[in-house]
Amino acid sequence: MSNPVLLIADPNISRLTALLRRCEDHHGVTVLGAATPGEAYVLLESHLPRRVAVAAEFAESIEFDALADILTMIDAQVVIYGQMRRPAGGYPVHSSPEQMLSRLFGGLQPGRPAPATPPRAAEAVQPSTDPVGGVILLGSSTGGITALETVLGSFRVDCPPTLIVQHIRPGFADGLVRRLDQLLKPRVVAAEDGAPLRRGMVYLAAAADRHLGFVLRGGPKIRLIPGAPVSGHRPSVDMLFTDGAALADRLDVRAALLTGMGADGAQGMCALRRAGAHTIAQDRDSSVVWGMPRVAIEMGGATEVLSLSRIGPALLSREAVRQRRLS
């Protein structure tokens, strides 16, 4: 069984670092730190911490209110430390970090400095200029950050260009881009209008007021599309998949619809399959919320239904088959 996870959210970097050091030698608990709401959102979704300690300055911010839904959903034990200037929303408040640590652990001893995040491998930084060959499209929502880490974790440094729509609160997408870019072999960036699609690149929809799509004029490139929400979302998975369906007769398009609430992506996946693209839906057992993929399966949009661990290799194996046929 994996260790329980404690997340400490504190905008004061020096205090956060000191707390992480103090927690380092507490065996049996994995301790993570977040200095911004975006970092906290990503870590909450990806690690589902059982306990969350929040500095008063953080708890009083407007951005913290936006995290309340996910804190409730994962049933985390939340404690606040410091001097609150407004009601604490029912969370227990401790006047100092020391009292908070005592409440959570019964007291901790100072530990060694936390190790720095290892740098990205040099070969992972430069995208390939080879022909793209094909495009991979991914859509996800609730539970999707962990799912994306799993799927993309199997991608090589020269993977096909990959476009992602992950439902995420406005302002938090940049933190997700940074986290994925640190974890993965391919380069991960926020999608920019007109950027050419390159092998070894993963493009995340980060503009809250634009849909993500792509075109082939002058070579495959990203387009950011203004407009109203589609299927209840902006950016919308349906919009991305619909663009892919329009180009599937000229480009090898593969798509996966991952865990998430609602039905966004289901209609687009049906269009992709009708256009000849290979489509994969995440199965029920490995989904946090089996909503979006379930609807796609029921509508006949999924070529395959696979567990999360099999989706990444399946998307890449399609390219291997294609390359063998061309050789």
DSSP per position, 257-311: E-SBSS-TTHHHHHHHHHTT-EEEEE-STT-SSBSHHHHHHHTT--SEEE-HHHH
- The catalytic residue among 181, 243, 252, 264 is 264
Active site residue 264: yes
Give the pLDDT band of residue 2 (cuts 50, 70, 90). low
Return the minimum-mean-pLDDT range out of 112-116, 150-154, 171-175: 112-116
pLDDT at 69: 66
Return the minimum-mean-pLDDT range out of 13-17, 44-48, 120-124, 232-236: 120-124
pLDDT at 75: 72
Report which DSSP code applies to 91. Answer: -
Sheet with 5-9: strands ordered across: 30-34, 5-9, 51-55, 77-81, 93-94
Residue written as tokens 């070529």? 303
What is d(CA 259, CA 144) in angstroms, rounded to the nearest whole number?
A: 6
Nearest to 212, CA basis, from 182, 250, 255, 261: 255
Task: Return the higher-pLDDT residue of 174 and 292.
Answer: 292
Question: Under a CB-based contact definition with an 8 Å cutoff, are residues 183 and 42 in contact?
Answer: no
pLDDT at 115: 40
Please determine, for residue 311, whether its predicted confidence score (pLDDT) is greater than 90.
yes
Please determine, for residue 224, whether its predicted confidence score (pLDDT) is greater than 80.
yes
Instruction: Kindly report the average pLDDT of the chain as a whole number.
Output: 85
Q: In this structure, what token pair is assigned to residue 21?
A: 């050091």
Question: Under a CB-based contact definition with an 8 Å cutoff, are residues 287 and 150 in contact?
Answer: no
Nearest to 163, CA basis, from 121, 107, 203: 203
Nearest to 309, CA basis, from 286, 277, 280: 286
Average pLDDT over residues 214-240: 95
Active site residue 233: no
Average pLDDT over residues 203-225: 95
Taking only the tens place, the pLDDT of each residue in 56-108 is: 998 888 778 777 767 776 778 888 999 888 776 778 888 888 888 776 765 43
Q: Does domain 5-105 have CATH number 3.90.1200.10?
A: no
Task: For residue 55, report the phi and psi dihedrals to the nearest 5 degrees.
Answer: -65, 150
Give the pLDDT band of residue 175 (cuts 50, 70, 90). confident
Taking only the tens place, the pLDDT of each residue in 255-277 is: 999 999 999 999 999 999 999 99
Please determine, for residue 186, whether its predicted confidence score (pLDDT) is greater than 90.
yes
Average pLDDT over residues 206-228: 94
- The catalytic residue among 140, 141, 236, 287 is 141
Return the CATH number of the domain spanning residue range 128-326.
3.40.50.180
Please determine, for residue 122, whether its predicted confidence score (pLDDT) is greater than 80.
no
Q: State CA 70 to chain mean position distance.
A: 14
- The catalytic residue among 94, 167, 233, 278 is 167
What is d(CA 322, CA 154) in angstroms, rounded to the nearest whole number?
A: 18
pLDDT at 46: 78
Please determine, for residue 118, whether its predicted confidence score (pLDDT) is greater than 70.
no
Taking only the tens place, the pLDDT of each residue in 154-164 is: 999 999 999 99
Strands (E), 205-277: 211-215, 221-225, 252-257
What is d(CA 228, CA 255) in angstroms, rounded to the nearest whole number?
A: 23
| Domain locations in the chain as residue ranges | 5-105, 128-326
Taking only the tens place, the pLDDT of each residue in 38-64 is: 888 888 877 878 789 999 998 888 778
Active site residue 167: yes
Report which DSSP code applies to 35. Answer: S
Cα angle 217, 218, 221 (rounded to 5 degrees) comes to 70
Question: Under a CB-based contact definition with an 8 Å cutoff, are residues 150 and 315 in contact?
Answer: no
Give the pLDDT band of residue 110 (cuts 50, 70, 90). very low
Percent residues over pLDDT 90 in the chain: 56
Give the pLDDT band of residue 15 (cuts 50, 70, 90). very high
Sign of the Cα pseudo-torsion (299, 301, 305, 310, in order): negative
Domains 5-105 and 128-326 share a fold: yes
Give the pLDDT band of residue 113 (cuts 50, 70, 90). very low
